[in-house]
Structure formats: structure tokens, C-alpha cells
Structure 1
Amino acid sequence: MTLRKQFPLVVNPILRLFSSLQICARCKSAMGTKMLEAHTPKIYYGIPRLIDSTRLNHHDAGDSTIVKRDGPPWRVMFFGSDNFSIASLKALHKCRTEGKLIEKLHVVCPETKYIKRKGKTRIISPIWQYCHDNDLTHFPWPITPEVKGYDIGVLSSFGHLVPGHLIESFPYGIANVHPSLLPRWRGASPITSAILGGDKTTGVSIMGLRPKRFDVGPILLQESIEIPHRCTTESLQETLASQGADMIVRFLKDLPTFHANGKAQSEEGVTLCGKIVPKMAIVSWSKMCDEIDRLYRAIGQDFPLETSWNGNQVRLNQMNDPKVTADLEINMEGALLGELYYHKPTQQLCVKCKDGWVSFGEVTFRKKMTAKDFYNGFLSGKNIGRQCFV
């Protein structure tokens, strides 16, 4: 008689336990289903499968010899990851389809990326999705060390340092499409930083990529534009992405000349910018109205402005132009910084700043609501008194 028949109450639960265990792909430990779900990052499982291109040195990658051509059509490898990159990739893809400027176009990009503010949830990289939709050969990052059969690399908002041996594998190096007037705003958030800094002009720089450091290479082509009044990071990004796409095509049309005439960046006027983080959205009401407006336009679409009211978090949306708010009749003398005033004719919630008032049409307190609903629910009444955001 087996142990299972002799001691069913003891043996059967143990067998069920072991049969339900699964092996974690990350740490190779055995664990139950619920523990495995908590242990594993949430991943978007609808990722499309692309052309199987895990190695570069096969027939799909082209010629294995390194020959520096003196004119088009060029063999291009594109590096990108996000929505800013899409415009340049579309322009290059169009050129490849026409066949006069580009002979071969292959793409390197990460498969997925993290969604901001949502922990470890992943979404498909926009570049990956574009490759899938348009049957473009794709190589996942990082790629194998040896790359042959290309004339130039084109990089746009890639987010990864490219090693020197990879840059040197392209006869004309790698050209980086950067959305600022370098050396101003080197780093991860040039468009956002231009708005935060109150810049009147910005632009796009095509520069030669250098290993180990971001945005320090020679300027190959650079053009400026005026920043539109009260534009957001999203709208300015769209404008600069389109400008960068046009510039990279013009750059490739006369590649040898631009490559030979690159100019080193000036050591004067260098400014650096880092990644945008959620804590930047916390408003200080001691700032000027224009500063708060720039903060809202720069990061509000990803990180809504935050403040505190009676110890509770409040998020602020639908900010008005400070010049329009300045024309409102606000009858409150001796207002404190952060003090609230509801303007009934326009149904706007006004907040006192260092040099005046800013106003919002929508707030999130427990749930999203209009400024009118927030006033009626929490600020109106005989014994409410004067209220302030802090």
C-alpha cells in the first residue's frame, strides 16, 4: 500500500502544492501562482512579433564589407524608441520606398517601455509598433557587437548610450536628431526644459554621436524656430519632430558635405536637463504666475499639478492663460499665498500667487470635478472661512 493511500490527508495536500508550483523566469525560484504574479512585472502581452532578426550578420543585414560610399542611395540603420522618433522614421521609410536616397533601412529599438505613473506596467514601443505595421526589419536592443553593411546610423530620442565600437562600425558614424539648440539643453528632457526655462526660441540639432556622453558631438546641421505662445510639451514636440524629419532627409541628400563640415559645440551656454519626475508637479504658490503656467504647460499632460488642501492632495487641471486671469475682477484684499477665490462669472477656481492670481477650470479631489462643483461641495457656506492651498 502506497503512502498516498495510507496517509491521504497528509500526502495529497503536499502533492497538490508541488504540482501547482511554477518556475520564475527571472530568478528560477519555485513559487505559487499568486506569488509569481506579484513577483513578475506586469507586461503587455499583445506585443506583435516582428521579423526574426536577433543577429545582424546574416543575409538580411546585407553586405559584410565596409565601403565608404560618396553618394546615395544610403544604407541606414535607425535607432529610436518613442513618439518623437516616429516622424524621422516615417520620413526615412518614405525615402526607402522611393529608392533614390535610401537603399536599405533597418531599425533598432526596445520592444516595450514603461508607462509613466503606472508602476511596472509596459506598453509597446511606438517604433516597434510602426515596424510591425510596415514590415520593417527590426533588431532588439542591445544588438550584437559586429555591425556591417551600413553607411550611417540615424538616432532620434533613443535613451541609451551607444558604445564607441558600434558608432565606428558606420563609415559616416551616427547622426543624432536632438530637439534643442545645442549646447543648450543637453540631456533627457530638452523640449520640457525649454518651456520650463521660458525660452523664446528652440530648434533641432543634427549632431555626430560620441560614445560615453550624451549630446556633446559636433553640430552637423542646426535650425531654430520661435516657441509658440502657451504651447505645451506635446504640441512643441510634434512641431520639432516634423522639423527634425525634414532636416535628416536634407542632411542625407548631401551627407558627405555635412559630415566633413561639422563644428564642435561651444563651451559657452551649456545647460543640462535631467528626467522629469513626479515631485516636480508640486506647486509652490510663492512663485510667479508665469512660472506656474510654464510648469503646467511643460509637465501637466503627464504629471498634473499638485497641491495640498486641509492635508489632502488636490490635482489641478484646465489652467487658464494668466493674462486672461489677470483681467478678472477678484475682490479680495490682503490675500495670502495659495488663498482660494471662486470667480462665479467664469466658473474658475483662482489661487493667489506671488504676483497675482492663476485660475483652473477642473480639480481632482477624491474624484475629478469642475471648479464649480468643488466650490459648491467644499468652499461655499457660512462657516467655511478663508481657504488656502499649501
Structure 2
Amino acid sequence: MWMLTGVITLIGMTWYMIRSRRENRWPLTPISTRDFRTGKHLGTPPEGSLYFYADRQYLAPLQRIGYEHAPDIELRVKRKRWLDRLFTALGISVACQTDNRDFDRSFYLVTDAAPVCRALKVSPKTQELMLRVEALCEPNGLRFRQIIMRRGRVWLEVVSRKRKKPPSGVQLAQSLVPALRELSETMDAEVPETARNVKDHFALKAAVIVGISSATFMAGIYFLFKPIFLPGRTPLDEHPFIIASLVTAALIVALLVVVTMTWLGRTSRTHLVLMELIFVGSIGFALTSYTLLREANMALDFSTGQRHVVQVLEKHSVSGRPPIFYVNLEPWGDLQDVTEIRVSIFFYGKVLSGYPLVVEEHPGAFGISWVRLIPPRFRYVEETPASTSAEH
């Protein structure tokens, strides 16, 4: 049942991630005009301001400030990094160039629609305004990440610099929305009609591959919930599953790399998709393969199992988040050593050291034995000083 739930969850999460990556729809964060500590009025954001705020643990918060009126152009202009330069120099990715040295040095254009690229080449004012928007981030203690134009809106994505308090939504809107409005109006006047409403078909292809990668990563973490928080049935040897999952992940990533190079070709998104596959997808495929193989070994095993009555030699816990609980069992059957099995907190409270429990052993669908622990059905009666003196 758990394996079937996992497969359905993986399919649903894959569809959700592909759709979310393709659409780039973000919930709007209301711009607060008052300081929640002092109640002081912070000001009024310009008309047409859009805002999104995402708090990230251990990282600076992500902020997007936008303007709700923009030409119907699909375009992403990101800060050029050394990896972009490396993969472009190697010929793996090919990005649009505007022949403006300052613009091409600062930005990496993520678009493979030829009309959009040609329009940017002949739009010097648009290039100048994008450079000005990037320059406005520095005085506000922000680091420019990217400008995104999609669905008739223009967004600026920024993060605050180290040891810098992020500005409020009102401050961000007052500082940057006028520049975004000017950029939108300039592009509306400068960009020809041939570059509008042009669909970038490579965007969907990249979203499919990246969506699969992201979905398996999230699904793998979700699948680990049961063995971590609710351990019940457990294999006697985990190593075969770990080795099989690493091999499976390597094969799937290699296959998707080939698919990416064949399906996308040399585009502006190729190296971005490849990096996601290698750094995120490999972990996701390994986690998902491990949990599904582990569960399939038990779920597809329809044997009745062999029961053994064994003694609990010791039980102990390891502090952490969450705490981990173990029971040490005496050898049974062909086993020669003490077996340490991880159990849930509920099972941990039902057994005591020195008392027996039942171990139901199954051969496993893949030949890897697994066990189910059955707690005793009687209540323990602990000795107390009162009961001891009454017996005497």
C-alpha cells in the first residue's frame, strides 16, 4: 500500500513540478505599509507594484518586486556567472548576444526564441535600462539575480547581501518599481511586434526535464518519512538497496543527460538543465530508488513468514531531531550475532529489556530478508517497594 501511494505521489508531484516550472506563477505577498513593531507608516508603494517574499533557512530571503504592465514577451535575463561563461566557451550552451559589451558581460539571456533575440539586439534603450536596474540594486544592499518577463508582467528578483537587513516591501517598491515601469514602457515602444507573443518551445522541454528532477528529489525526501519516523517492517541488510539505488540513479541521470543533449541541443538552457540533473536529480533519483526498492522487496513478498520468539537484550535511544530508537535482539535462526533494529517510539514503549517478543521473518521478493516485530500481548508488572514488602 505504501509503495502504491509512493508511485502515485511521484507521478502527481512530477506533473505539479513541470507545470509550476513552466508557468512561473508566484503567490503575491501583500506589501505592508506599517512597521509591525512600532506601527509607523512606511509609505505607499507605487501603483501597479507586485511583491513576493520567501524566507529561506540559512540563506538570505528571496524577494521579487514587479510591475503588472509589460509587453507580452517571454524573456529571462539573469546575472552572468562563471558557469555560464564556462559552458558557453565549451560550446555546450549557446546564448543570445547583443553586441553590447557591457550588457553581454553582465547578463546571460535565457531565451531561444530568435525574434526576441533579434529584438533585443536593436533595442539599445532597453539594454541601458536593464543595466540601470541592476545598478540600482547595489545602493539598496541587494544582489541582482534576474529580470523575468512573462504573462504581461515584469519581475526583478534580488537577495540581500551578507550581513545586510533586507529592505521592506515598500522600500523595495519605491526604489525599483519606477525603473521597472520605465523599462516596461521603453520595451513596449522599442520592441517590434514580431517579438511579441512568441512561444519559446525549448522552455517547455527544459521544464519537463527539470520538473522530473525536482519531483524525484522532493518525492525521495517524502518517501524517507516512513522509515525515519514510522519504522515498522525493516530489512535485515540495507546495503544491497543502497548500492542498487546508487547504480540506478547513475543510469537514470546518464540517460537524462543524453536526452537533454539530444532534445534541447545547444541552447541557452542546456547547461542549466544539466546542472540541475547532476546536483539535484542524482540525489532525488538515489533517494527515490532506495525507498521504492526497499518497499517493493517487502510489499511484493506474499510469503507467510517464519516466527521466532526472541529476547530483548537491550533497548536504547540516540538523541537528535528526531530521536532514534533501537532494540537489540538475541540471535535467532541462522543468525549468529546480536541484531540491532530501529523501531518507532510507539513500539519502543511497548517492550522492556529482558522480555521476549515475536520476530516474523520473510525471505523478501528480491531475496533480501526483512522482519516485522510483534510486541508481546501481555502487560508488564513492574516491582515496586510496596509490592515487594507485601510479598514478605
TM class by smaller structure: under 0.3
Higher strand share: 1
TM-score w.r.t. length of structure 1:
0.25
Higher helix share: 2
Structure index of larger Rg: 2
Output the TM-score relative to the length of structure 2. Answer: 0.25
